[in-house]
A and B are shown apart, each in its own frame.
Chain A
Amino acid sequence: MFLRFVAQSIRRAPRRKAMAIGAVALGSAVATAMLGAMLEVGDRVNRELRSLGANLLVTPKSASLPVDIGGIRYQPAAKDEFIPKAAVPKIKSIFWTLNITALAPSLHAQTEIGGRDVPVEGVWFLRDLRAPDGTSSAAGLRALNRTWKIEGHWIDDRKPDARADECILGEALARSLALQPGSALNLFGEPFTVAGILSTGGTEDDRALVRLEVLERLTGRLGQVDAIEVGALTKPEDAFARKDPSKMKGEEYDRWYCTPYISSIAHQINEVLPMALARPIRRVADNEGQVLNKVRGLMLLIALAALATAALTVWSVMATTVLERRYEIAIMQATGASSALIATLFGAEVALQGFLGGLIGAVTGVQLSGAVSQTVFGIHGSPPELLVPLVVVVATAVALAGAAQPLRRALALEPALILRERA
């Protein structure tokens, strides 16, 4: 009997029901799309900011103070200050391995060209790095600085070759030596060909880059590197992140250790590389956090505004559907239905509409937020699965809440009054 009532109500006025369901669906779609986009935008911007290069620098623990200006050393580095190349993959074995997007080891030296000292850097350009756990990922300068562009071509160093004779010159250096891609020059007394010319605006513009193993051979520092640049996805630092970890208590320390703050990632790198010191590059790391905080905060507030609106819409639609049916309620009351029965009847109807509308809206919203990230970021992101059931439950609850107040009012009124008004 009860179910027949509900079914009849829907069959008798399908258009009105469809409109109510449609309204709930639209509201839920807004909510889902906003929540999905909010999560997506923060993530994407974080990755986008990573194109600024490394935010952590790992250098050997040193007893002497490096004295260099623009890559030229005015004091030779001590022989025992290096990080063994074999230890580099260990960085990919720390707790936050997955947040390390790229790393680039390098070795620095200088040579004389045309009567002046020129810094030469031995680097990995782009190669697969096999982590201790067997997974492999892209590493090297190009993995770290994806926006770098080159005139000529990059050096393909996927296969190690200590005899290779290609080098890459910084734009300012190439200009002052009047060299183009394809030109020949001598480095450390050996002939090299210029493969490409790199222009970044930074210190790279004055340098020559060669394969790491080539510079190891030329300088006789086999198996050594003296810097590792690391790019890590981090959580913006807050007051908690800036506390001194050595003064933290057990549980607090665990929480700090298990949060991808730049400082805790640096700490974990120091744990696996005891001969080295990892330091956050403040210029990149701090601003990254700041920009990210603003973007996330903005998206959160926009999402809240949209959620409030969606809830209000659903609320008002449900209130209207009850308001419209005061006459029916009066008839039911007049024919002896108890208030509880009527409330359950309407509640079931409203809940059904909220559920259906919420489901349709959530599914549409997921598509919409995917379309938004496709348009904006060119990547089809997918919001978390949990979003759909969450939105459905909330939509149903808001629909019920919207219907509750007008229903109570309708039940409190004298049926005779409403019936006479209508007649």
Chain B
Amino acid sequence: MFWRFVLAAVKYRRRRLLLAFAGLAVAATLATTLFSIYWDIERKMRREFRGYGANLVIAPAANSPTVPLKAVEEAERLGAVAAPFIYAIGRIGDERVVVAGVDFRRAGPLTSFWQVDGAHTAGPGQCLAGSAVAAHFHVTLGQSLPLASGACVVRGIVSTGGAEDNRVMVPFERAAADAGFQNSASMVEVRADGNLVNDVQTALAHAFPGADVRVLHAIAETEASVVLKVRSAVFVLALVIFGITTLCVTGNFSALVLERSREIGILKAIGAPETRIAALFLSESMVLALVSTVAGYALGLAVAYEIGRTIFSDTAQARAVGVHFAVFAPVMGVTLLVAALATLFAASRIWRIEPAMILRGE
């Protein structure tokens, strides 16, 4: 009997309830969207900072000229991206030029900011030329650069605005052989995920006491501060918006009770106790709130996914939006609570309604 009342109320006032439903569903959608974005914004933003390349450098300590190559494997074992580099002076004709040995396969993720005309990697007998080197020696793509240690074919021309512009990049093995490096490098660059930088630094410094493991503070700290700020901006905005939209919804739910003074009058006239009438309204709003929160949550996930896909579209992993119970539970809890409070607040009028007055039409 009780539930028949509730269901009938839903059936006969479809339009009115639809509005209340829409209002609450929209609030839940927005809350879900924002909190889901907040949930993995950190991971996504940190990914964006990978383009800056290394945030750790392993340099030789004062008493040794080189860094052991094992440092690369150790850094990789710690979950970081690492690549060794060799810097040596070479000759072209009677001019000196810096020749850099690059492990192109490993260095790829660390050098994504290089602007390269041509290929990004060079094999045996090939090299990449810095833009200033190419201009100085008048070589273009595909031509041969007459390094004293053996000519190489220019596969790409690199422009970074930094030191690379003045260098010739050859495969690591060749530079090692030319400069006499054995299982060692001039420097190892490491990229650890932002939140792991300090752990990786400590572990590497411990494993290689003879080397100098440095954190590139500017990159590591800027990353941390930007990620933190964007994250907290999204969080604060999510709170503000969730607060405001739920406030809007309270009006809707109070109105559901206030409008029906006549029905309340009739119910009271035929002897229904006030608590029972209030329970009737409460269950009506709870059913409504439950359905709209679930609908809003589903829609919110879709919107969050779409936003993630539009903004961070680079990789499939970055697009993913998870179903987080930690998001669902508070959204659900708050919407139900707000709907209940709004209904109960309005329901306090039930006790004050005089059936006779209402039914007479006043």
Among A101-109, A332-340, A371-379, the stretch in contact with B: A371-379
A52→B161 CA distance, assembly (Å): 15
Whether A51 and B251, one on each chain, are in contact in the complex, defined by CB atoms closer than 8 angstroms, is no
Residues of B within 8 A of A147 (CB): 217-218, 221-222
Whether A172 and B212, one on each chain, are in contact in the complex, defined by CB atoms closer than 8 angstroms, is yes
Whether A172 and B233, one on each chain, are in contact in the complex, defined by CB atoms closer than 8 angstroms, is no
Q: Given contacts A65-B97, A302-B34, is CB(A285)–CB(B240) below 8 Å?
A: no
> Which of B29, B48, B160, B221 contacts A51, CB < 8 Å?
B221
Residue B328 at the chain A interface, CB threshold 8 Å:
no
Whether A287 and B49, one on each chain, are in contact in the complex, defined by CB atoms closer than 8 angstroms, is yes
Whether B166 and A65, one on each chain, are in contact in the complex, defined by CB atoms closer than 8 angstroms, is yes
Residues of A within 8 A of B225 (CB): 48, 51
Whether B218 and A74, one on each chain, are in contact in the complex, defined by CB atoms closer than 8 angstroms, is no
Q: Given contacts A53-B218, A283-B113, is CB(A313)–CB(B241) below 8 Å?
A: no
Interface of A (DSSP majority class): helix
> Which of B23, B220, B232 contacts A313, CB < 8 Å?
B23
A267 to chain B, nearest CB (A): 14
CB within 8 Å of A: which B237-281 residues:
237, 240-241, 244-245, 247-248, 251-252, 254-255, 259
Whether B62 and A301, one on each chain, are in contact in the complex, defined by CB atoms closer than 8 angstroms, is no
**Smallest Cβ-Cβ distance to B247: which chain A residue:** A26
Residues of A within 8 A of B244 (CB): 26-27, 29-30
Among B50-58, B66-74, B75-83, B144-152, the stretch in contact with A: B50-58
Whether A290 and B51, one on each chain, are in contact in the complex, defined by CB atoms closer than 8 angstroms, is yes
Interface of B (DSSP majority class): helix
Residue B208 at the chain A interface, CB threshold 8 Å:
no
A114→B254 CA distance, assembly (Å): 84
Residues of B within 8 A of A48 (CB): 222, 225-226, 229
Whether A52 and B241, one on each chain, are in contact in the complex, defined by CB atoms closer than 8 angstroms, is no
Residue B19 at the chain A interface, CB threshold 8 Å:
yes
A161→B250 CA distance, assembly (Å): 70
Whether A172 and B62, one on each chain, are in contact in the complex, defined by CB atoms closer than 8 angstroms, is yes
Number of interface residues of B (CB under 8 A): 81
Residue B170 at the chain A interface, CB threshold 8 Å:
no
Whether B52 and A200, one on each chain, are in contact in the complex, defined by CB atoms closer than 8 angstroms, is no
Residues of B within 8 A of A376 (CB): 229, 232-233, 236
> Which of B15, B48, B217 contacts A323, CB < 8 Å?
B15
A178→B9 CA distance, assembly (Å): 85
Whether A34 and B237, one on each chain, are in contact in the complex, defined by CB atoms closer than 8 angstroms, is yes
Residue A85 at the chain B interface, CB threshold 8 Å:
no
Whether A372 and B237, one on each chain, are in contact in the complex, defined by CB atoms closer than 8 angstroms, is yes
Residues of A within 8 A of B174 (CB): none
> Which of A285, A317, A323 contacts B16, CB < 8 Å?
A323
Whether B98 and A69, one on each chain, are in contact in the complex, defined by CB atoms closer than 8 angstroms, is yes
B218 to chain A, nearest CB (A): 5
Residues of A within 8 A of B63 (CB): 176
Residues of A within 8 A of B159 (CB): 282
Q: Given contacts A297-B311, A316-B19, A376-B236, is CB(A52)–CB(B222) below 8 Å?
A: yes
Whether A280 and B240, one on each chain, are in contact in the complex, defined by CB atoms closer than 8 angstroms, is no
**Smallest Cβ-Cβ distance to A285: which chain B residue:** B161
A354 to chain B, nearest CB (A): 15
B231 to chain A, nearest CB (A): 9
> Which of B53, B98, B311 contacts A283, CB < 8 Å?
B53
CB within 8 Å of A: which B159-187 residues:
159-163, 165-166, 186
A226 to chain B, nearest CB (A): 14
Residue B312 at the chain A interface, CB threshold 8 Å:
yes
Residues of B within 8 A of A68 (CB): 98, 163, 166
Q: Given contacts A74-B89, A280-B161, is CB(A309)–CB(B49) below 8 Å?
A: no
Residues of A within 8 A of B215 (CB): 201
**Smallest Cβ-Cβ distance to A44: which chain B residue:** B229
Whether A23 and B237, one on each chain, are in contact in the complex, defined by CB atoms closer than 8 angstroms, is no
Residue B37 at the chain A interface, CB threshold 8 Å:
yes
> Which of A172, A312, A368 contacts B26, CB < 8 Å?
A312
Residues of B within 8 A of A270 (CB): none
**Smallest Cβ-Cβ distance to A314: which chain B residue:** B248
> Which of B19, B233, B241, B254 contacts A319, CB < 8 Å?
B19
Residues of B within 8 A of A87 (CB): none
Residues of A within 8 A of B133 (CB): 65
Whether B160 and A283, one on each chain, are in contact in the complex, defined by CB atoms closer than 8 angstroms, is yes
**Smallest Cβ-Cβ distance to B137: which chain A residue:** A65
B100-128 interface bits toward A, Cβ cutoff 8 Å, 1 = contact, 0 = none? 00000000000001110000000000000
Residue B87 at the chain A interface, CB threshold 8 Å:
yes
CB within 8 Å of B: which A277-292 residues:
279-287, 290-291
**Smallest Cβ-Cβ distance to A20: which chain B residue:** B251
A420 to chain B, nearest CB (A): 14
Whether B217 and A201, one on each chain, are in contact in the complex, defined by CB atoms closer than 8 angstroms, is yes
B157 to chain A, nearest CB (A): 13
Q: Given contacts A26-B248, A44-B229, A282-B160, is CB(A298)–CB(B311) below 8 Å?
A: yes
In this complex, the member of A23, A34, A49 whose beta carbon has the largest number of chain B beta carbons within 10 angstroms is: A23
B199 to chain A, nearest CB (A): 16
Whether B87 and A317, one on each chain, are in contact in the complex, defined by CB atoms closer than 8 angstroms, is no
Q: Given contacts A41-B233, A172-B59, is CB(A302)–CB(B37) below 8 Å?
A: yes
A112 to chain B, nearest CB (A): 15
Residue A273 at the chain B interface, CB threshold 8 Å:
no
CB within 8 Å of B: which A257-279 residues:
279
CB within 8 Å of B: which A367-388 residues:
368, 372, 375-377
Residue A320 at the chain B interface, CB threshold 8 Å:
yes
Whether B132 and A281, one on each chain, are in contact in the complex, defined by CB atoms closer than 8 angstroms, is no
Residues of B within 8 A of A26 (CB): 244-245, 247-248
Residues of B within 8 A of A294 (CB): 44-45, 48, 311-312
Residue B321 at the chain A interface, CB threshold 8 Å:
no
Residues of A within 8 A of B221 (CB): 51, 147
Residue B362 at the chain A interface, CB threshold 8 Å:
no
Whether B52 and A283, one on each chain, are in contact in the complex, defined by CB atoms closer than 8 angstroms, is yes
> Which of B113, B165, B255 contacts A320, CB < 8 Å?
B255
By a beta-carbon cutoff of 8 Å, the part of chain B in contact with chain A is 15-16, 19, 22-23, 26-27, 29-30, 33-34, 37, 41, 44-45, 48-49, 51-53, 56-57, 59, 61-63, 87, 89, 95-98, 113-115, 132-133, 136, 159-163, 165-166, 186, 212, 214-222, 225-226, 229-230, 232-234, 236-237, 240-241, 244-245, 247-248, 251-252, 254-255, 259, 303, 307, 310-312
| 21 residue pairs from A and B, CB less than 8 Å apart | A29-B244, A30-B240, A37-B237, A41-B230, A44-B229, A45-B226, A49-B226, A64-B136, A69-B186, A176-B61, A279-B165, A286-B51, A287-B49, A294-B48, A294-B311, A298-B307, A305-B33, A309-B27, A372-B236, A375-B236, A376-B233
The 8 closest A-B CB pairs, nearest first, are A176-B62, A201-B216, A201-B214, A281-B161, A287-B51, A279-B161, A283-B113, A301-B307
List 17 extra interface pairs beyond A53-B218, A316-B23, CB under 8 A.
A19-B255, A29-B244, A51-B222, A65-B133, A67-B89, A147-B218, A201-B218, A282-B162, A283-B52, A284-B52, A286-B115, A291-B45, A297-B310, A312-B26, A372-B240, A375-B232, A377-B229
